[in-house]
Amino acid sequence: MPQRILEPGEIELLSNSEIPFLRLPDRASLLVDRAARLRQLANGHAMGDYLRLIAEIAEVQSWALENAPPFALPSDESLEQSRAHGMPPLGTQMHHRDPAWCDLLRRMLRRLAERTRGAQRDVIVRLDRERDELYEAQASKLLAGITLGLDMAYAPLLGAALQVYWVHLVTTLGRGHFGRIDPATVCPACGSRPVASIARIGGQESGYRYLHCSLCATEWHMVRIKCTTCESTKGIQYHGIEGGTKAVLAESCDECNTYLKILYMDRDAQVEPIADDLASTALDLLMADTGKLRSGQNLMLIHGDAED
């Protein structure tokens, strides 16, 4: 039976309690599904080799998450303070990373080195030999969205370990520690920007649009036809590649001149935010021609500014 996507007016008539606000990532399936989707999209794709590399990374991420050490969690006092002030409990700019994430990164790099060859392996081995101080400095730049001084070859590898670390923290703490925050356009768990939004099908979430966090993979509800950057409902437009998939479009806003991709599960039930964002870089090139600025980032493909 076809699934109908609810419009904003219909959604607003429902009480907040009827709309599932938060979706935490499934530790067992998140990265397995991502790797499978990347391999599916890689077939015949101009970026096939890169998509397959990120699939390898996703499989190593899945292994690392399954074998993650017991990282230090925020204190009860810190969690209570976050709740009181409507702040993300695991906010990237306030949370003190457990230094053990550097060891997690090294284990991932060594496992990945066994699965790669050539220039890709050279980068992985070189990063493995770096000091923790470089890991921390580069991670801080990456999480803050600073590209000046960020090593673009290292960035996806660092981002992969940081994703595992934050997914572990989010799923270990559990849903009860996260709620609505202001602004509503950033992740209520870690404060990161979304990589894309996704209109879901099936279960309680059917018909609702969720923003998908680029770091911890938490999803949170936002009504459709509303800017995911400035929350305006004016000047919202949708863009796609002529003759291309209708399951991935760019949703742009004339008010703040930004865009973010939106994925439609009713058009392709297999869409996955990180994977489908990477595979639709042609859409980013199209949007660049319109002058609209991308509002989110994909940690698996960081672009530096021209002056960097």
- Establish if 71 belongs to a structural domain: yes
Q: How far apart are CA 185 and CA 225, in angstroms?
A: 14
Report yes or no: 212 and 292 within 8 Å, Cβ to Cβ: no
User: What average pLDDT does this structure show over 240-268?
Assistant: 97
In a domain, 124, yes or no: yes
User: Is the pLDDT assigned to residue 89 strictly greater than 80?
Assistant: yes
> Can you read off the two tokens belonging to residue 85?
């002030």
Q: What is the pLDDT of residues 273-306, one digit of tens each?
A: 999 999 999 999 999 999 999 999 999 998 755 4
In a domain, 305, yes or no: no
Return phi, psi of residue 285, to 5°: -65, -40
What pLDDT, on a 0 to 100 scale, did the predictor assign at position 304? 57
Would you state the pLDDT for residue 12?
Answer: 46
What proportion of the chain, given as a percentage, has pLDDT over 90?
A: 86
Q: How many other CB atoms are there within 10 angstroms of residue 4's CB atom?
A: 11
Mean pLDDT is highest, among 83-87, 90-94, 105-109, 200-204, for: 105-109
**Per-residue confidence at 1, pLDDT binned at 50, 70, 90?**
very low
Task: Examine residue 249 and state whether it is found in any structural domain, yes or no.
Answer: no
DSSP per residue, 236-300: EEEE--TTS-SSEEEEEETTTTEEEEEEETTT-TT--HHHHHHHTHHHHHHHHHHTPEE-S--TT
On whether residue 262 sits in a domain, the answer given is no
Residue 149 lies in a domain: yes
pTM of the model: 0.92
| Residues spanned by the domain of 34 | 26-177
Residue 132: pLDDT band with limits 50, 70, 90:
very high
- Distance, in Å, from the CA atom of 104 to the CA atom of 76, rounded to the nearest integer, reads 25
Average pLDDT on 231-245 reads: 95
What CATH number has the domain bearing residue 52? 3.90.1670.10
What was the pLDDT predicted at 204? 86
**What is the enclosing helix (H) or strand (E) of 220?**
strand 219-221
For the record, the structure tokens of 253 come out as: 């806003």
Number of domains in the chain: 1
pLDDT of residue 18: 75
- Per the domain annotation, does 95 fall within a domain? yes
pLDDT band for position 83 (cuts 50, 70, 90): confident
129 token code pair: 């030999």
Structure confidence by residue, pLDDT tens digits, 178-229: 999 999 999 999 999 999 999 999 988 889 999 999 999 999 999 999 999 9
More confident residue, 308 or 93: 93
Residue 4 is predicted with a pLDDT of 46
Question: What is the average pLDDT score of the chain?
Answer: 92
Instruction: Summarize pLDDT for 2-55 with one digit per residue, the tens.
Output: 444 445 444 444 444 578 899 999 999 999 999 999 999 999 999 999 999 999
142-166 per-position pLDDT tens digit = 999 999 999 999 999 999 999 999 9
Q: Sorting pLDDT into bands at 50, 70 and 90, what band is 127?
A: very high
Q: Which one, of 5, 65, 4, lies nearest residue 34 by Cα?
A: 65
Q: What mean pLDDT do residues 114-131 have? A: 97
Q: Does some domain include residue 287?
A: no
